[in-house]
Structure 1
Amino acid sequence: MPADQFALSSDLINELLRGMRLRGVEYRRIQAGPTFGLGFAEKPGHAWFHFIAVGNALLRMEDGTTYALSAGNAVFISHGAAHQVLSHPDAPVLDIDRLDGAPLGDTISAVETGADASPTPSTILFSACMEFELGSIHGLGKLMPGLMLIDAGGQRYPGLVPILTTMEREVSAARVGFAGILARLADVVAAMVVRGWVECACGNASGLVAALRDPRLAGALLALHQQPGRDWTVAQLAEHCNTSRSVFAERFQVTIGMAPLRYVTELRMRLASQWLTLERLPIEEVAQRLGYTSQAAFSRAFKRITGKTPGLSRKVSQPAVT
C-alpha cells in the first residue's frame, strides 16, 4: 500500500479506536496445579480474554474443537461463546463461577484449582470477562471472528507482552489504585487486538473492514467520524474520495452494505447511545453535538433506529442499586 494511502487509513483507524471502551470488566488470576479443568459459560454481549502467563493449557470450544496454548499465548472470544480451559482432554471440568476466589479488589479475584498434587502452580492464567463497547465502530463487532488465538510475542501484536506482564504484576502486587490501572491497560490490550485483526484480515475482508483498507472510502469515513454532526450530502462525501457522486454511492453501498446517509444516521445513533449511557451527557447536549435542530427531532431519529427513546435508553443502562 502506498505511504499516503496507509497514512489515511491509519488516521481512520486511530479515530475509530478512540471510541472503543470496555465495561464491567471482571478479572481473575488463576493458579492451577497439574490437573485442572475450567468451564466458562456463554455470555452474550460480552467478550472473554485469557492470557497464559506460565505453563500450558488446552482451549476447548463448545463444538469440541481444541487448541493448544502455551506461555505467551492469549485468547480473545469476542462474542462470549462457552468454552473450557483444561490441563488435558480428560480433566474434570468445574464451572469457574462455582470456584471460590479470594477478592483482591472490587472486580478482581485470585482463584486456585487443581493444586492438591503440587504446592507450586503448573499454570498461571490471567482471565477477564467484559462488555465490549465498540462505539462508532460497532459494525466491526459483527464481523469479528468468534475466536482469535493470539501469539502475544508475534509480529502482529508488537508490545503486547509487556502490557500483559504489567497487568499480571499489578494483580500480584495489589498496590493502591491497581484496579484503575488494570482498566486502562485492558482498553489498550483490546485496541491492540482489534488493530491486529483489522491489519491482517486481508483474505476475507468485508464490510467496514474492507472500507478501512480502501483509500477510496477511507477519506469519506474519516470525515464522517470526525464530524458526525455535519449536515452531510453524498456529493460532499464523494469529494473526500476524489470521485463522482454516483461512483462513490455505489462503491459505498457494495462495500459497507448500506447507503452513505443511512450509515451517517446509524453512526450518529451509536455515538448517541455511548454518550447517553456511558458519559451520561444530557439529551439536549447530545442532540446539539449531532447536528439536530431540536431535541424532539433527535429523539424521533433515535427511536426510529434503536427502538427506544433516549430517556429510556439511559434508564435501562443504569446499574441496579443494591
Structure 2
Amino acid sequence: MSVEQFALSSDLINELLQGMRLRGVDYRRINAGPRFGLGFAAKPGHAWFHFVAVGTAVLHMEDGTTYELSAGNAVFICHGAGHELLSHLGEPVQDIDRLNGAALGDTVSAVDIGTDACPTPSTLLFSGCMEFELGSIHGLGQLMPGLMLIDAGGQRYPGLVPILTTMEREVSAARVGFAGILARLADVVAAMIVRGWVECACGNASGLVAALRDPRLAGALLALHQQPGRDWTVAQLAEHCHTSRSVFADRFQVTIGMSPLRYVTELRMRLATQWLTLERLPIEEVAQRLGYTSQAAFSRAFKRITGNTPGLSRKARQPAVPQNPYP
C-alpha cells in the first residue's frame, strides 16, 4: 500500500472515530481481597470495560467461556453481555449492583470486597459501564466481537497504559471536575480500542472492516462521511476511487453488502438519530444538514428507514429524569 493510500484510509478512520460517543459512563474502583466473586448483569446497548491494575482475576462469560487476566490486561465487552470477575473459578458471586460503594462523585464509586482480613488489596480493578454510541460507524459496531481481550502494554495499543494510569490517578485524587476528565479519557480509551481492532481485524475482513482497509473504497466512504448531505450519484463516488461506475458499484455491493446509495441513506439516518436524540437539534436543521429539500421529505425518509418519525424517535430517547446506567 502506498503512503497516499494509507493516509486516505487513516483519514477515513479519523472521520469515523470522531463521531463515536460514550454516554452515561459510570466507574467503579474495586479493591478486592484474595478471594472474591463479582457478577455483572447483561446490559444490552451498553459496553463493559474492566482493567486489572494490580493482581489477577478470572473472567467468566455467560456462555461459559473463561479467561485468565493479569495486571495490565483489560477487557472490552462491546454488547453488554453478562459476566463474572472471580479470584478463582467456583468462588461465590455477589451482584456488583448490590454491593455498597463509597461515592467518590456523581458517577464514580469505590467498592471494597474481601479486604477485611487484608487491608491491602490483592487485586485492584478499574471498571466502567457505558452506553456505546457509535454514530456514523454503527455498522462497524455490529461487526465487533462481543469480547475484546486487551494487553494494554502491547504493541497494538501504544499509549493506552498511561491513559489508564491517569484515569486511576484521577479517581484516587478526586479533584474538582475529575468525573468530566474521566468521561473524556474514556472516549479516548474506547477510540484506541476500536482503532486497534480495525487495524488488526484480519480474521474478520468483511463488510465495513474490509472497506476501511481497501483504498479502492476508502475514498468514496471518506467523501460520504464528510459530506453526507450532498446529492451523491454513484458516478461521483466512483470518481473518488478512480474507477469506473460499474466496477465501483459491484465492489461496494460485494464488500459492504448494500448499494452505495442505500449506504448513503442509512448513514444519513444514523446521523439524524444522533443529532436528534443526543445533540437535540431541531428537526428542520437536521433535514437541512442532510440535504433534504423539506422537513416532510426528511421525515418520510427517516420513517422508511427507522420505522419511526423523527419526533417520536427523539421523545423515546429522552429520559424523564437523569438516569444511572446501573439499575
TM class, shorter-length: over 0.9
Deviation at 1:263, TM superposition (A): 0.2
**Aligned pair 1:18/2:23, yes or no?**
no
CA distance in 2, matches of 1:90, 1:304: 50
Residue matched to 1:241? 241
Whether the 8 Å CA contact 1:302–1:310 is kept in 2: the answer is yes
Residue matched to 1:147? 147
CA distance in 2, matches of 1:131, 1:189: 14
Deviation at 1:117, TM superposition (A): 2.5
Residue matched to 2:226? 226
Pairwise mapping of residues 103-114 of structure 1 onto structure 2 (< 5 A)? 103-114=103-114
Helix, strand or coil for the counterpart of 1:194?
Answer: helix
Pairwise mapping of residues 45-124 of structure 1 onto structure 2 (< 5 A)? 45-124=45-124
CA distance in 2, matches of 1:200, 1:105: 37
Residue matched to 2:170? 170
CA distance in 1, matches of 2:206, 2:24: 30
The AA in structure 2 aligned to 1:245 is R
Deviation at 1:319, TM superposition (A): 1.5
CA distance in 2, matches of 1:321, 1:112: 29
Helix, strand or coil for the counterpart of 1:318?
Answer: coil
CA distance in 2, matches of 1:6, 1:50: 32
Deviation at 1:138, TM superposition (A): 0.3
Residue matched to 2:7? 7
Deviation at 1:119, TM superposition (A): 1.1
Residue matched to 1:36? 36
Deviation at 1:64, TM superposition (A): 1.8
Helix, strand or coil for the counterpart of 1:228?
Answer: coil
Helix, strand or coil for the counterpart of 2:13?
Answer: helix
The AA in structure 2 aligned to 1:6 is F
Structure 1: state its 5+ residue gaps: none
CA distance in 2, matches of 1:186, 1:91: 30
The AA in structure 2 aligned to 1:3 is V
Residue matched to 2:259? 259
Deviations 1:180-209 (A, max 9, x none): 000000000000000000000012211000
Residue matched to 1:195? 195
CA distance in 2, matches of 1:63, 1:304: 36
The AA in structure 1 aligned to 2:205 is A
CA distance in 2, matches of 1:150, 1:313: 35
Deviation at 1:91, TM superposition (A): 1.3
Task: Quote the RMSD (CA, aligned, Å).
Answer: 0.8
Structure 2: state its 5+ residue gaps: 323-327
**Aligned pair 1:291/2:322, yes or no?**
no
Residue matched to 2:183? 183
Deviation at 1:5, TM superposition (A): 1.2
Percentage identity across aligned positions? 88
CA distance in 1, matches of 2:60, 2:237: 46
Greater CA deviation, 261-270 or 307-316?
307-316
Greater CA deviation, 161-170 or 55-64?
55-64
CA distance in 2, matches of 1:65, 1:136: 32
Whether the 8 Å CA contact 1:34–1:117 is kept in 2: the answer is no
Helix, strand or coil for the counterpart of 2:121?
Answer: coil
Residue matched to 1:320? 320
Q: How many residues align?
A: 322
CA distance in 2, matches of 1:238, 1:209: 19
Deviation at 1:3, TM superposition (A): 1.4
CA distance in 2, matches of 1:106, 1:208: 37
Deviation at 1:235, TM superposition (A): 0.5
Helix, strand or coil for the counterpart of 2:236?
Answer: helix
The AA in structure 1 aligned to 2:72 is G
Whether the 8 Å CA contact 1:275–1:281 is kept in 2: the answer is yes
Helix, strand or coil for the counterpart of 1:203?
Answer: helix
Deviations 1:1-50 (A, max 9, x none): 32111111000000000000001111111000000000011111110000
The AA in structure 2 aligned to 1:93 is V
**Aligned pair 1:217/2:217, yes or no?**
yes
CA distance in 2, matches of 1:204, 1:263: 20
